[in-house]
Amino acid sequence: MQRFEEFFKEIEERSSAIRKNKSWLSFALTFLFLGVYFYLTLPSLSYQSPSFYSFLLLGLLIFTGLRLIFGPRMNIASFKRSFVLLVFLLIVPFIFSLISSPIFRAQSYAKLLVPEKGVFEDEIEKIALSQVPIVDRETAGIIGAKQLGSLTDLVSQFEIDPQYSQIDLAGKPIRVSPLRYFDIIKYITNRKGGIGYYVSVDMTTQGGQIVKLDKPIFYSSGDYLMRNIHRKIRFQYPFSLLGETNFEIDDKGDAYYVTPLLRKTIGFFGGLDATGAIITDANTGKSTLYELKDVPSWVDRVFPAELIVRQLDDYGLYKGGYFNSIFGQKNVTSTTEGYNYISIDQDIYLTTGVTSVRSDDSNLGFYYTNMRTKESKFYPLASATETAAMGSARGKVQEKEYRPTFPVILNVSDRPVYFMSLKDDAKTAKMYALVDAQQFTNVYVADTVDELFRAYNKYHLAAGVQQDMETVTIKEVREIILEGSSVFYFTVKENDKIYEITAAILGPEVLTLKEGSRLKILASLRDNIYTVESLEQ
């Protein structure tokens, strides 16, 4: 009997040792699974990220399941510990999210982004024709695809990343996007040499080109292993909240990725904001973290567009307090449905309308927000909404069934004017439209941007609307023949500008121009030349 008990005890000890070893196996398998999961999904391990708690919860469930299968029998104490940890991972984030919500912190949300009030006609420069953006992301994709299709040696190996970030390059609004490997086979055969090109689309001319880089791209979104740019940045900053990574070109023509570094600034889980930017060399993969004040000036996009719009909405919603946002709604505003970008002083600005939550039939004004610095201005202007302007433009060419793009607000002759392209079913811009934001029944359409602005200026001159006419004295004038037409270029004593004027547009009176002629003119800037739209002698 005693021998049997000793044998049974030995078996139990051996079994317990095996189960303890299998507990370590459960740990090892759990960490292995979580490692693979992290590699594939790249969750943030910041305590402010919901994905961090999901990651821990997944690990707890996997370990508990494996322990039930391989480990020692779980007693009541073990179950209690697992249950308490489960409740912690589910309840604590919820409680802290509630404490950090606008219910308790409305004023903090309203102060995340406080736009300054400005004067539209004084602060928003009259845009030159050469700066008017006529290409949106959809059209840029079509133009880029045509350019790539013309290069047979590239189109068989690569495709274009659909991002098409808008940047300001040498004072011009440009959309850029890198190439990426067409599939895994093309990745294997081309990864050693990297990606030597990116697509550039001029937003003012619709001109596209495939640009060769001096230093090829080795880190891209199309890489399957550790040279995937998203994986590279996540492994470098595993405990950080990161925004969308944007492809940009610096002033030297080299390729970089710009990733916003985010932080929740209200309580534990509220008030998401950007606190810096991670700039990654697309050739070497080296990353540098910059504080907001130190971000290089060539960087155009630090603050995500969705974050800016959310903070503008929070400002309009909560500046009068949380309960006012629900009940009284006094002076409560929101952004309109959509936004656009415009290039000003070599920076990219997000523009969107502002409307009352009680009535969305008209705009109270417009927000202009710098996407690198988050400096924001509110320009109070009673006007039609972007949607109403799009409807007016669509109605002007209803027989053609063209679709307007989302408009951008411009300063034309000190008036807020919506500009948009009109596209056909092939998503190609066929015409262009200007809609007076304050008189949205005044709609102008034309086949080219030049003709469009000329028609706008002609109408306003005929209507007696005050224009920026300038009085000048001709210093020197020269005539050249272009495509059978006389074109006159002249300089004036009052400034260093070069003016262009044609007889085909302004009539035979331009033939009388000579040195010393005193003129009153209206001119628009295009490609560093001022084109005369109207002339009085």
Distance set, CA 512 to CA 152, 296, 471, 491, 529 (Å): 54, 51, 17, 15, 21
pLDDT for 535 equals: 73
Farthest CA pair distance, the chain: 131
pLDDT for 465 equals: 47
Could you list the pLDDT tens digit for every one of the 537 residues in the chain?
555 555 445 555 555 554 555 667 888 899 999 999 999 999 999 999 999 999 998 998 888 888 777 766 656 666 677 777 777 778 888 888 899 999 999 999 999 999 999 998 888 877 776 778 888 899 999 999 999 988 888 888 999 999 999 999 888 899 999 999 999 999 999 999 999 999 999 998 889 999 999 999 999 999 999 999 999 999 999 999 999 999 999 999 999 999 999 999 999 899 999 999 999 999 999 999 999 999 999 999 999 999 999 999 999 999 999 999 999 889 899 999 889 999 888 899 999 999 998 777 789 999 999 999 999 999 999 899 999 999 999 999 989 989 999 999 988 877 889 999 999 988 888 999 999 998 888 899 999 888 888 888 777 655 444 456 788 888 888 888 776 667 888 889 888 888 888 776 566 667 778 888 888 887 776 666 777 877 776
What are the sequence ranges of the domains in the chain?
2-99, 130-305, 386-462, 470-536
Buried b / exposed e over 150-172, threshold 16 CB at 10 Å, is eeeebbebbbbbebbbbbbbeeb
Phi, psi of 407 (to 5 degrees): -75, 160
Q: What whole-number distance in Å separates Cα of residue 438 and Cα of residue 442?
A: 9
Q: State the residue for tokens 């189109």.
A: 155
Buried b / exposed e over 96-125, threshold 16 CB at 10 Å, is beeebbbeebbebbbbbbebeebebeeebe
Query: What stretches of 191-298 show up as alpha helix (H) in DSSP?
Result: 229-236
Q: What distance lies between CA 447 and its chain's CA centroid?
A: 28
Q: Is 79 helix (H, G, I), strand (E, B) or coil?
A: helix
Q: Which amino acid is at 20?
A: K
Are 371 and 352 spatial neighbours (Cβ–Cβ below 8 Å)? Answer: no
Helix 2-41 to helix 50-70 angle (10° resolution) is 150
- The alpha-carbon radius of gyration of the chain (Å, integer) is 31
Q: Is 480 helix (H, G, I), strand (E, B) or coil?
A: strand
Q: Is 52 helix (H, G, I), strand (E, B) or coil?
A: helix
pLDDT for 75 equals: 62
On whether the pTM is more than 0.85, the answer is no
Structure tokens at 412: 């034309």
Residue range 470-536 forms a domain whose CATH class is mainly beta
Structure tokens at 241: 């909240």
pLDDT for 171 equals: 80
Q: Which amino acid is at 94?
A: F
